[in-house]
A and B are shown apart, each in its own frame.
Chain A
Amino acid sequence: MPVDDQKNPTDERLWRSAAPMKPALSAACPGQLELASYLDGRRSAAEIESIETHLVVCRECREAVADARLIVVATARSRPAAPERVIESAQALVSAQSQPLLGLKWRTARWPAAAAASVAICVFGYHTGTAWTASTDLRLDQLATEMSFGVFDPPDEDAGEIELIAALLTERPR
């Protein structure tokens, strides 16, 4: 370690004694796009000054920048791949009919036929003991995720099926 990098108590004391004022946060945290822009070096000098003024007093944003920089550098170096299961599940979120399954406004609409059909397939397979396929597994994962995010909002009369999904998730083979 260069001599210059070693901790110097005098320097540290100087920094601390120079901090009689602790200003409140002057502005809301920058958004993720703004932070990304900062990280990519696409901000003007004035904008950098503004973001760094915020970073001095906001630990959360400092951590976000530090984490993101580490991740971006590491991923640029090693090009990590996600497990195939993650890729398949994510790709299945958008159907071939040009509709993101989760883009449906299920909160305000009736429980869509696609979801009902998915549940029916799972339930049928469960009751009849037919082979548990990878697609069944995948669809169950999707349903669980959708329910946890509140975008899967079936009517009350389907509560029985929802309970069954929960049971399937618990009992499915691993």
Chain B
Amino acid sequence: MDVNLHHCLEGDKQAWDDFVQRYSGVIYAAVGHVFGSRGAGSTGRTTEDVAQDVFVRLVKDDYRLLRKFEPQRASLETWLTLVARSVAIDCLRKRRLETSGLDPSQIPAAEPTPDGQTVPLHLLTARQRLVLTLLFDEDRSVAQAAQMLNVDEQTIRSTKHKALSRLRSHFQSR
């Protein structure tokens, strides 16, 4: 089904209906993945509820969020997946704060956590450091790292091998 996003943003009802028909599955799957992998039992909200929240955010304030999408930069499926995942994570985070007795409005937005083990800059490429982080710090398998970075498993093994060789050389020369 072709979806005319431009018509959709102009308020065309049929275009919006087509958009929902075409992308509701992706949004529903993304929310379901977050709830399935992290547990949503305590939120009191279902996957259906949160999927609906995603659509609400997309159209709110004259499609403010949906207008941010730029088709030349990414596919709509991938962008909506990230948006839906983010809404689901926010839902879980909000519930955790509420159940902890803290006032969510008093809590600043979560800051990313610098947790990666790194090596002297320029010794390894970002890709090499990322691969070692995924394999050693996060205990991901070669297959998982390969999927995440959208490369084959042999590429991950090769990247890891080269990175470790560089590290050995670095320490042997010191």
User: What distance in Å separates the Cβ of A100 from its nearest Cβ neighbour in chain B?
Assistant: 4
Are A87 and B21 in contact, CB atoms less than 8 angstroms apart?
A: yes
User: What distance in Å separates the Cβ of B69 from its nearest Cβ neighbour in chain A?
Assistant: 7
Residues facing B in A48-100 (CB within 8 A) are 48-50, 52-53, 55-62, 64-76, 79-83, 85-87, 89-91, 93-96, 98-100
Interface size classification for chain B: 35 or more
Are B114 and A22 in contact, CB atoms less than 8 angstroms apart?
A: yes
When A40-B78, A82-B28 are in contact, do A60 and B112 touch as well, CB less than 8 Å?
A: yes
Stretch at the interface among A11-19, A116-124, A127-135, A157-165: A11-19
Q: List the interface of chain B (C-beta within 8 A of A).
A: 10-13, 16-17, 20-21, 24-30, 33-34, 37, 48-49, 51-53, 55-57, 59-63, 68-70, 73-75, 77-79, 81-83, 85-86, 110, 112-121, 123, 125-127, 129-130, 132-134, 136, 138, 140-142, 144, 147-148, 150, 157, 160-161, 164, 167-168, 170-171
Are A70 and B147 in contact, CB atoms less than 8 angstroms apart?
A: yes
Which residues does chain A contribute within 8 Å of B26, judged by CB atoms? 71, 75, 80
Are B110 and A57 in contact, CB atoms less than 8 angstroms apart?
A: no
Q: How many A-B residue pairs have CB under 8 A?
A: 242
User: What distance in Å separates the Cβ of B2 from its nearest Cβ neighbour in chain A?
Assistant: 16
Besides the known contacts A80-B25, A90-B55, 6 further A-B residue pairs in the complex with CB atoms under 8 A apart: A32-B79, A64-B85, A82-B24, A89-B52, A98-B13, A145-B52
Are A67 and B59 in contact, CB atoms less than 8 angstroms apart?
A: no
Complex CA gap A68/B53 in Å reads: 18
Are A18 and B83 in contact, CB atoms less than 8 angstroms apart?
A: no
Complex CA gap A171/B25 in Å reads: 30
When A58-B114, A82-B51, A86-B52 are in contact, do A67 and B171 touch as well, CB less than 8 Å?
A: no
Which residues does chain A contribute within 8 Å of B59, judged by CB atoms? 93-94, 100-103
- CB of A169 within 8 A of chain B? no
Which residues does chain A contribute within 8 Å of B62, judged by CB atoms? 100, 103, 105
When A91-B17, A102-B56 are in contact, do A33 and B73 touch as well, CB less than 8 Å?
A: yes
When A58-B113, A87-B24 are in contact, do A18 and B167 touch as well, CB less than 8 Å?
A: yes
When A22-B117, A60-B112 are in contact, do A83 and B127 touch as well, CB less than 8 Å?
A: no
Complex CA gap A40/B164 in Å reads: 28
Complex CA gap A82/B21 in Å reads: 9
Query: Which residue of A18, A70, A90 contacts B171 across the interface (Cβ within 8 Å)?
Result: A18
Sampled A-B contacts (8; CB under 8 Å): A15-B132, A41-B150, A64-B85, A72-B81, A80-B25, A102-B59, A103-B61, A141-B52
Query: Which residue of B48, B115, B136 contacts A57 across the interface (Cβ within 8 Å)?
Result: B115
User: What distance in Å separates the Cβ of A171 from its nearest Cβ neighbour in chain B?
Assistant: 17
Are B17 and A81 in contact, CB atoms less than 8 angstroms apart?
A: no
- CB of A25 within 8 A of chain B? yes
**Nearest-CB residue, chain A, relative to B115:** A59
Are A56 and B116 in contact, CB atoms less than 8 angstroms apart?
A: yes
Which residues does chain A contribute within 8 Å of B160, judged by CB atoms? 11
Query: Which residue of B16, B29, B133, B168 contacts A71 across the interface (Cβ within 8 Å)?
Result: B29
Complex CA gap A146/B56 in Å reads: 8
